[in-house]
Amino acid sequence: MDRDQTDKDDDASAHERPTLKTLAFMTGLGVTTVSRALKDAPEIGAETRRRVQLVARQIGYRPNRAGVRLRTGKTNVISLVLNTEREIMSFVSDIIYGVSEVIADTPYHLIVTPYSRSQDPLDPVKYLVETGSADGVIISRTQPNDPRARYMLERGIPFATHGRTDMGLVHPYHDFDNYAFAAEAVRHLAGIGRRRLALVTPPVGLTYYGHTVNGFVDALGEVDASEVPFNTVSIDQSIDQIRTRTAQLMRREVRPDGFVSSAAAATLAIVAGIEDAGLKLGRDVDVVSKQSSELLHLFRRELLIVNEDFRLAGTELARAVLGWIGGAAPGSLQTVVKPGDVVAYRG
Amino acid sequence: MDRDQTDKDDDASAHERPTLKTLAFMTGLGVTTVSRALKDAPEIGAETRRRVQLVARQIGYRPNRAGVRLRTGKTNVISLVLNTEREIMSFVSDIIYGVSEVIADTPYHLIVTPYSRSQDPLDPVKYLVETGSADGVIISRTQPNDPRARYMLERGIPFATHGRTDMGLVHPYHDFDNYAFAAEAVRHLAGIGRRRLALVTPPVGLTYYGHTVNGFVDALGEVDASEVPFNTVSIDQSIDQIRTRTAQLMRREVRPDGFVSSAAAATLAIVAGIEDAGLKLGRDVDVVSKQSSELLHLFRRELLIVNEDFRLAGTELARAVLGWIGGAAPGSLQTVVKPGDVVAYRG
DNA sequence: TCAGTATACTGAAACGTTACAGATTGCCAA
DNA sequence: TTGGCAATCTGTAACGTTTCAGTATACTGA
């Protein structure tokens, strides 16, 4: 009789991974009781609970994820969906670390779900939802009318977007205030006497493209400056393209004396283009740029910089998804971070 | 009787995720047969096999990962273990994309397992192995005597290291030939008349620190040049520290006229330090640097560059782990990639 | 004709977990 | 004394998969 219970498990020597059955055997309790004791269920006696938890800690019991997942459907996985070609480099590492920081003391794992240029961005999201591979999803490159957000909302899977949507639907997001960034950049350039400004936009189609353009245009209305159209360029073009087009622009008769750039990599290309045209940064033209890691001031100290913290984005997005999973109202999980001041080189 | 089989599953309207049971019901076969038919087991009739696979494809059957994992122990997960503070930024995104590319058409998912400065690097690896969270592991920041590699080898879990070890143990790795890089850099600098060279080393303790130093020193022996010690600096220090120390060094009487730098971010700092000391790149001093993304030539066109492809590292490491999981000999899964030539700015 | 065997299929059990529906005990009110 | 009830604990089933040990059928050779 007794041997029945033990015939597999009490091979303690073999050092197999402990399961609820192991704990049940060690404590002399039933598997069910052990399970409930570990999750502080109300109908378990205080002493039993403590005893079970003590033993569990001692032998290093860890719930088997496959068991939980199979039984409950809970995956304990957050998926970060990334475009393998167009994502900003520092974005990837910073956001991963930000998310990691938040989920570090939770049972969650982070899985990265990539998709490539050729794919519909909806594909990876569909895959995740259809296969039930994650409890929560984080997406970037958010669009005003974003099919992915709509889809996940329909399917009822918790998610958070990096960037806002504009569909009249409520969901968690984290965003940088790109309207304020662009407006502040324009004001700063006007303040140092620049009058003809060009904007290097975010990728057309993404929500923050609109925000940025609006901030730029609105602020131009407030100050004594005008726009030099530079519509052929956006930050997800190649360095070479941006550089060439900038050089072309700067060789025209009517050329900008100020740039507002939405990303550090593009800024490198713009400066190169400016210099290709024989002009000098800080003298002939000023550039205000966003950056997410401290490198632009090493590049050219004349650059004017606004910092965007992607690691913060990671933590906020992770918090938002976990919050939604935990039952919080999606509408209460929306954050927009204001840009800091435009900073010039500090000695 | 019939209703027993159907009472849950045939609610086709509800559009629940199909399982083997669903397929069994649809084809009129047993669950076992369906399972075997899907994996081309030999004892299944050719027509049955085709029929099952057709139906499975039509209704979009996907095996439930939790079911498989619970039953077989196979997780279909590869884990990439990363240091959240010291990893090179572009390394993170490139290697993730490289790995993704390889596992894209396999059932594998990529999970990122981070650890922080304060933790023992062995911790995350122990966690993965003890909880059986992955079928294969990729680690970076490899040391000559690496406890993580030793541990995984003992436990028999497939892994690949970015960088080699030197413990007399055989395991898959991918490495960049840093010996050749450093040696070639020295030869190049000597070739353009530089005589007093300083090395900005990789992090002390990592295997490629030794490789780099050896390449540097050995090549110095071949050419008419000597080393200016710069031991207080390595590439995982902060930009500010490297910059300050470089400036100090460059203000000494006996200062280097050439640098070899193991990472792009450090190179930015070194150039800043050089310029802080009032010296000019290309005139007073030359710098050969590794980089993993095309930005250094935008930064200063006088820089001399050797490219290291982290995306390739990602694909090679993924291939190596998958190979080992697939039963290949670990010794056959080792690659070292030669550096390309030192390249100067191309007009 | 019949045993032997290859072919094609099947049910039951198990992986580790949780939910459901009890079961046992002791205590209290009537 | 008894019925009721709260407090604790328990066995069974189920999640979806694969493996084990079959079973049924048809074919083979003598």
pLDDT value, residue B40: 83
User: Which residue has better confidence, A250 or B5?
Assistant: A250
pLDDT, tens digit, 9 for 90 and up, residues B266-311: 999 999 999 999 999 999 999 999 999 988 999 999 999 999 999 9
Q: CA-CA distance, A236 to A206, in Å (whole number)?
A: 11
Of the candidates B70, B101, B298, the beta carbon closest to that of A70 is on B70
pLDDT value, residue A16: 83
Distance from CA of A66 to the nearest CA of B (A): 5
pLDDT, tens digit, 9 for 90 and up, residues B236-251: 999 999 999 999 999 9
Residue A3 has pLDDT above 80, yes or no: no
Residue A324 has pLDDT above 80, yes or no: yes
pLDDT value, residue B41: 85
Does the beta-carbon distance from B112 to A114 stay under 8 Å?
Answer: no
Q: List all nucleotides in chain C with at least one atom under 7 A from a protein Cβ.
A: 7-12, 14-21
The region of weakest confidence among A4-18, B60-74, B113-127, B215-229 is A4-18
Does the beta-carbon distance from B84 to A64 stay under 8 Å?
Answer: no
Residue B8 has pLDDT above 90, yes or no: no
Task: Report CA(B50)–C1'(C1) in Å, whole number.
Answer: 38
Residue B1 has pLDDT above 60, yes or no: no
pLDDT band with cut points at 50, 70 and 90 for residue A347: low
DSSP B270: H
The region of weakest confidence among A7-11, A168-172, A271-275, B325-329 is A7-11
Residue A297 has pLDDT above 70, yes or no: yes
Strand D at less than 7 A from CB of A33: yes
pLDDT value, residue B86: 87
B 289-308 residues with CB < 8 A to A: 293-295, 298-299
**Helices assigned H by DSSP within chain B:** 2-6, 20-27, 31-38, 46-59, 65-72, 89-103, 122-130, 147-155, 178-191, 207-222, 239-250, 264-276, 296-299, 310-325
Distance from CA of B85 to the nearest CA of A (A): 9
Strand D at less than 7 A from CB of B31: yes
Instruction: Find chain A residues with C-beta within 8 A of B60's C-beta.
Output: 130
Does the beta-carbon distance from A272 to B298 stay under 8 Å?
Answer: yes
Residue A8 has pLDDT above 90, yes or no: no
Residue A85 has pLDDT above 80, yes or no: yes
B 102-161 residues with CB < 8 A to A: 104, 109-114, 130-133
Instruction: Find chain A residues with C-beta within 8 A of B87's C-beta.
Output: 93
pLDDT value, residue A117: 86
B 25-64 residues with CB < 8 A to A: 60, 62, 64
Average pLDDT over chain B reads 94
Mean predicted confidence (pLDDT) in B203-222? 97
pLDDT band with cut points at 50, 70 and 90 for residue B45: confident
pLDDT value, residue B11: 41
Average pLDDT over chain A reads 93
Percent of chain A predicted with pLDDT > 90 = 89
Interchain CB contact of B287 with A (< 8 Å): no
Interchain CB contact of B239 with A (< 8 Å): yes
Q: Are B173 and B164 in contact (CB under 8 A)?
A: yes
Interchain CB contact of B271 with A (< 8 Å): yes
Task: Report CA(A67)–C1'(D15) in Å, whole number.
Answer: 9
Q: CA-CA distance, B27 to B246, in Å (whole number)?
A: 73
pLDDT value, residue A118: 87
Task: Report CA(B286)–C1'(D10) in Å, whole number.
Answer: 77
Nucleotide nearest to B27 (CA to C1'): C9
Does the beta-carbon distance from A112 to B114 stay under 8 Å?
Answer: no
pLDDT, tens digit, 9 for 90 and up, residues B96-130: 999 999 999 899 999 999 999 889 999 999 999 99
Task: Report CA(A158)–C1'(C19) in Å, whole number.
Answer: 24
Nucleotide nearest to A18 (CA to C1'): C16
**Cβ atoms within 10 Å, residue A312:** 16
Interchain CB contact of A90 with B (< 8 Å): yes
Q: CA-CA distance, A55 to A37, in Å (whole number)?
A: 11
Residue B134 has pLDDT above 60, yes or no: yes
A 177-196 residues with CB < 8 A to B: none
**Helices assigned H by DSSP within B223-300:** 239-250, 264-276, 296-299
Residue A153 has pLDDT above 50, yes or no: yes
Mean predicted confidence (pLDDT) in A203-231? 97
Provide residues 33-92 of B with CB closer than 7 Å to any strand C atom: 33, 36, 43-46, 48, 70-71
Residue B14 has pLDDT above 80, yes or no: no
pLDDT band with cut points at 50, 70 and 90 for residue B347: low
Residue B260 has pLDDT above 60, yes or no: yes
Residue B85 has pLDDT above 70, yes or no: yes
pLDDT value, residue A1: 32
Task: Report CA(B106)–C1'(D24) in Å, whole number.
Answer: 38
